[in-house]
Amino acid sequence: MSRIIALIIMVIPGVLAAYGIKLMRDMTFGILQPPIPNLFLQFILGLFLFLGGLSFVAGFIFYRDRKRNKVQKRFSKR
């Protein structure tokens, strides 16, 4: 059961990051999504979603590897 919960916790930020990439791609091609008023705001929102999702997934993996002592000495707990 805990693995399913961990998978769900990892999927939600991944989906948000994918939606952020989609928003940035749509801005590049000039496609404005309905709830967002202009293209620049759409790109900024997509960038924040992408970076937020990516940093959450990276932090989760780093935390897990740190717990299992699979990181370099400089990143290990003291």
For residue range 7-53, list pLDDT tens digits in order.
898 899 999 999 999 999 999 999 999 989 999 999 999 999 999 99
Alpha-carbon span 62 to 56, nearest angstrom: 10
The one-letter amino acid at 29: F
Distant-in-sequence, close-in-space partners of 23: CB < 8 Å, separation ≥ 6: 33, 36, 42, 43, 45, 46, 49
User: What predicted TM-score, i.e. pTM, was given to this entire model?
Assistant: 0.84
| pLDDT tens digits, 46-63 | 999 999 999 999 999 999
Q: What is the DSSP string of 33-50?
A: PTT-SSHHHHHHHHHHHH
* Domain count within the chain: 1
Please tell me whether residue 76 adopts helix, strand or coil conformation: coil
**Where in the sequence is the domain holding 20, given as residue range(s)?**
2-75
